[in-house]
Amino acid sequence: MAQDTRILLSTDDRVMAEDIKSLLIESEIYTLLRSDNPASSIMGAYIGVNPLEGITMIVNVDEYEKAKKIIQTSLFAEVVKLH
């Protein structure tokens, strides 16, 4: 991971991670979702079952505090743990 990025949160729920990513994009905060099981999305498409995976959401260091505040004031505040 580059020095100009920071882990914002980790989750096992890809759908929720995508929803949070969309929320942040609305505020022009761009994120990177990193999976510990990159093949899981392909497996889900072909097999129809979503295997477990850990998703790490990464943001630019300069946008970390803004992203954190957006999540803390959203419906996701109660279900995610920020780093």
pTM confidence score: 0.81
Measured CA to CA, the distance from residue 30 to residue 58 in angstroms comes to: 9
Q: What is the mean pLDDT of the chain?
A: 86
Short-list 63, 39, 66, 40, CA closest to 52:
40
pLDDT tens for 49-76 read 565 788 999 999 999 999 999 999 999 9
Q: Give the fold, CATH level 3, of 5-78.
A: Alpha-Beta Plaits (3.30.70)
